[in-house]
Amino acid sequence: MIEQKSIPEVANSTAAIYHSHARSLSRSAHKEAGATTWREVAIWFAKQDYSWSKSTIRAYRRSLSFMAEQALSNHALNEFLQILKSGPKAHSKKGETATGRATKRKNITTKEWKRFQREALKSGADWDRFVLDFLKFGLIIPSRPIELGAMLMDGATLWIQTAKANEYRGLTCSVPDSVRQTLLAERVSNPEGEKFRSFELSQLKECDREVICRVSSEIRGWVEQKGGWKKFYQALRDRCRTLSANAIIHPAIAPGTPRHLSLSAIKSKSGSQAAAALAGHASQRSTTNHYKRASKSSLAISPAHQLSPTSDSLALVKSSEKALHPRQRPFVKEHVVTQNPIPAKELDFFSGINFSLPDPPVKPDLESARQASSRKVLSEYQERMDAHQARIDELTSKRNSPTTPPSQDTRNSQNTVDRKEPDDPGYRP
């Protein structure tokens, strides 16, 4: 007799994911190794080295163990879990996606940032110092790299042209005409959208304001020296990769990495709406779904949490129904499974020796589909034939009508009938 264990409370959606993963693994094991029991599925799973990433292996292992926890006794469950823990090994594609392209670096640890700073300051070159200031700027002000070529200091206010903005995208803030004209005339990059946002530098520390002033005053000279914004940005990325390699940082820190960290810091301190306003987003959907909350160590790197948007810009940010971050989902008691979520049919997988795999997916009724298609084709053909016959009847009735003059074909046929051959009597050439 199987000893029933206490059933963990999971959401219906989570249980559905576990069921889906378990069925997928069972079908693959049955196809490749002929597995007919869940024990054989677990053995097959443990031998699939270098097939999945660590996160995927954890998800699959948890799915199989979740189903086993619902039906196995302690002894059988321990044996089953030991098989799952024996493998498989994850692939070693660190820093790469399935297509082989480098992943986007969206976070920097405290140790990595210290090593990067040491490498940038070791040479004493002005270019390395500017590269470091460029990254610090992104850690202070949540901005894309191309936006640093289109900014203007107006007293204690920093104005930045928002990239990727158009008529329907981006936060529309009021900007003085003089600031707009000066910024558009002096910019060295083209973020394309003519929408702007501002930052009050009085909220920052003195050392952070000095970094912003240095970058805003030096960036034009560096862009001209490198031969334009495109070559400048390419040199910036190359130097970031070199410094990251020297500091043993992988994946490399990119010019766009600080923006993710600064938005995460703002989100952690002031919420998604404030992060969206400072990023120039018209909705908080993106900052809610695609930016995590920064950890304490990350807050030590990015001082962006000191910033806060104005009440006017904050009011312009719209809430989005697509903002489905788990922290914003209301907890509903009905969503928690308090009974065994596994059907009795699937409990049989663990209840005896003769286990069976889940039912294969239901195949569509191809014969009925073929018959319906044939009926449709025959119906269309019959309609065309009826229309053709109606046209023939119409032409025949017109030809037999006395008021209708004979057609050319009729005259030709008459001439052919009346013509006499040379051997006939009365033939005249």
| Token pair belonging to 187 | 């910019």
Exposure pattern of 69-87 as b/e (b: 16+ CB <10 Å)?
A: bbbbeeeebeebbebbeeb
d(CA 95, CA 23): 30
d(CA 12, CA 17): 9
Q: Position of tokens 């904050």? A: 314
Closest by CA position to 274, among listed 239, 223, 315, 240: 315
| Tens digit of pLDDT at every position of the chain (429 positions) | 444 445 556 777 788 888 888 888 888 888 888 888 778 888 899 988 888 888 889 999 988 888 888 767 777 788 888 889 888 988 866 555 445 555 677 888 999 999 999 999 999 999 999 999 999 999 999 999 999 999 999 999 999 999 988 888 889 888 999 999 999 999 999 988 889 999 999 999 999 999 999 999 999 999 999 999 999 999 999 999 999 999 999 889 999 999 999 999 999 889 889 999 999 998 888 888 777 777 777 778 899 989 999 888 989 998 875 555 444 444 443 334 444 444 444 444 544 433 344 454 455 566 777 777 778 888 888 888 888 888 888 888 888 776 555 555 555 555 544 555 555 555 555
d(CA 325, CA 13): 15
Domains and CATH numbers, the chain: 1-94+336-369 (no CATH), 110-316 (1.10.443)
d(CA 179, CA 153): 9
Q: How many CB atoms lie within 10 A of CB 266?
A: 29
Closest by CA position to 66, among listed 150, 9, 141: 9
Instruction: Count helices and strands (H / E) in the chain.
Output: 17, 3
**C-beta contacts of 322-328 below 8 A and 24+ residues apart:** 322/285, 322/289, 323/272, 323/283, 323/284, 323/285, 323/288, 323/289, 324/288, 324/289, 325/272, 325/288, 325/289, 328/288
Closest by CA position to 28, among listed 73, 75, 97, 88: 88
Spell out the alpha helix ranges (H) of 92-150.
110-122, 126-140
Please provide residue 283's backbone torsions phi and psi, each rounded to the nearest 5 degrees: -135, 155
